[in-house]
């Protein structure tokens, strides 16, 4: 049985944190003895870990400047201080400080894997968590494997870090059956109304998710005579700014922030359209889940969008990564009920490609090398 360590900063409500829990829960427990270690003992996803997963953390809570503090210490010191056991395979499941910590492992019997989840669109971002670009380059070249969640994430990383090395693509693990079952549960939320076309999106409320653009497009379409409501599920640092914009434009009854939902699938399955307005993504977990639930999708052309929806809009509509692009895509869908029905069918078809069994099998093949 192989001893495997997964390192991640926390288990908050982000996509990478969620799919990591999905992955470790579904890896074969007769083959792998799994430890999931966080830097900070925080996050709603922790409670979903199965009992056989060993969970550890280093700090009880997050604190300001933690990244800077960790950079003060050599990577080898951090590895020995934070990780006290031998593992056959050690994986940093997110860019940043855990990748730097992993680079400090000098055990020749430990296979070291770094997992990339988002587009790192500049040398500074590609070296996030490291002291500088040179330190990052040396670390990523030394890892036994580097994995990316999409082709765009891979190419963006290599270009901006200025290195050449093989990087394998492995898609995120989704709890397909669980998602479908949870979507069937009754929903009693008086704020979610079905008297008009319902559009939803699920993400942290942060600038990169583009909800400010979605709000502007929503207002524009209402003014042009396309009645609909937009529901946003998530929390984050942009909440106050979005609330200010909603009040400024008088959209309280049509652009609704529902907050974080442990079961967002009921809302996604009940919606007529899912919109990903992101400026930047890795490989959108939320879009994948919308496809699994058969909800038509419009997405900006961010990383992973064409891998999910097709190079030529076979399974959903990919639009220019701009406010005008989001407007054109939403208008097409809102103008043509037959198009919505067409993409509802195509979403279900595409969703089956990202089944739990298929993605877990791919990861186990990589771990078994």
Measured distance CA(285)–CA(118) in Å, rounded: 12
The domain boundary, picked from 118, 136, 170, lies at 170
The domain boundary, picked from 143, 170, 197, lies at 170
Share of the chain above pLDDT 70, in %: 100
Mean pLDDT in residue range 77-81: 95
186 and 263 fall within a common domain = yes
pLDDT of amino acid 356: 85
The domain boundary, picked from 141, 170, 199, lies at 170
257 and 154 fall within a common domain = no
Question: What's the pLDDT band for 369 if we cut at 50, 70, 90?
Answer: low
**Is the full-model pTM beyond 0.75?**
yes
In tens, the pLDDT along 156-165 reads 999 999 999 9
160 and 288 fall within a common domain = no
218 and 125 fall within a common domain = no
Measured distance CA(45)–CA(48) in Å, rounded: 6
138 and 201 fall within a common domain = no
288 and 217 fall within a common domain = yes
Average pLDDT, the chain: 94
CA 126 → CA 72, 144, 156, 174, distances in Å? 19, 18, 9, 26
208 and 324 fall within a common domain = yes
Domain that holds residue 87: 2-170
Count of structural domains within the chain: 2
Residues with Cβ within 8 Å of 226's Cβ and at least 6 positions away in sequence, in order, are 331, 334, 335
Instruction: Tell me if 359 is assigned to some domain.
Output: no
Measured distance CA(222)–CA(249) in Å, rounded: 12
Residues with Cβ within 8 Å of 297's Cβ and at least 6 positions away in sequence, in order, are 273, 274, 275, 276, 287, 290, 291, 308, 309, 315, 316, 317, 343, 347
153 and 184 fall within a common domain = no
Residues with Cβ within 8 Å of 46's Cβ and at least 6 positions away in sequence, in order, are 11, 21, 38, 55
Write the CATH number for 333.
3.40.50.2000
In tens, the pLDDT along 113-171 reads 999 998 888 999 999 999 999 999 999 999 999 999 989 899 999 999 999 999 999 98
Residues with Cβ within 8 Å of 301's Cβ and at least 6 positions away in sequence, in order, are 318, 319, 320, 321, 325
Instruction: Tell me if 187 is assigned to some domain.
Output: yes
Instruction: Tell me if 229 is assigned to some domain.
Output: yes
191 and 144 fall within a common domain = no
The β-bridge relationship of strands 168-169 and 145-148 is parallel
In tens, the pLDDT along 271-323 reads 999 999 999 887 898 999 999 999 999 999 998 899 999 999 999 999 999 99
């Amino acid at each position: 049985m192989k001893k495997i360590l997964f390192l991640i900063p926390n288990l908050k409500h982000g996509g990478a944190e969620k799919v990591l829990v999905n992955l470790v829960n579904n890896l074969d427990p007769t083959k792998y003895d799994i430890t999931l270690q966080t830097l900070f003992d925080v996050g709603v996803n922790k409670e979903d870990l199965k009992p056989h997963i060993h969970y550890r953390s280093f700090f009880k809570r997050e604190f300001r400047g933690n990244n800077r503090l960790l950079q003060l210490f050599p990577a080898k010191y951090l590895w020995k201080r934070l990780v006290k056991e031998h593992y056959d395979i050690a994986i940093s499941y997110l860019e940043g400080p855990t990748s730097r910590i992993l680079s400090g492992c000098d055990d020749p019997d430990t296979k070291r894997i770094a997992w990339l989840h988002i587009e790192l669109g500049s040398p500074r971002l590609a070296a996030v968590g490291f002291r500088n670009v040179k330190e990052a380059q040396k670390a990523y070249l030394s890892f036994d494997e580097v994995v990316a969640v999409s082709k765009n994430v891979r190419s963006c990383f290599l270009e901006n870090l200025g290195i050449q090395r093989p990087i394998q693509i492995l898609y995120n693990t989704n709890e397909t059956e669980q998602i479908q079952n949870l979507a069937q549960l009754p929903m009693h939320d008086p704020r979610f109304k079905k008297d008009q076309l319902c559009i939803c999106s699920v993400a942290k409320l942060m600038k990169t998710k583009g909800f400010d653009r979605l709000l502007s497009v929503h207002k524009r379409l209402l003014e042009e005579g396309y009645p609909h409501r937009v529901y946003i599920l998530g929390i984050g640092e942009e909440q106050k700014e979005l609330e200010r914009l909603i009040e400024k434009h008088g959209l309280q009854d049509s652009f609704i922030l529902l907050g974080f939902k442990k079961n967002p699938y009921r809302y996604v399955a009940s919606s007529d359209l899912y919109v990903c307005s992101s400026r930047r993504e890795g490989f959108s977990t939320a879009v994948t889940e919308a496809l699994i639930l058969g909800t038509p999708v419009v997405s900006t052309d961010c990383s992973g969008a064409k891998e999910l929806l097709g190079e030529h809009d076979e399974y959903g509509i990919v639009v220019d990564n701009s406010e005008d692009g989001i407007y054109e895509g939403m208008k097409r869908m809102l103008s043509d009920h037959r198009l919505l029905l067409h993409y509802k069918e195509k979403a279900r078809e595409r969703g089956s490609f990202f089944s739990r069994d298929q993605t877990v099998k791919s990861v186990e093949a990589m771990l078994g090398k």
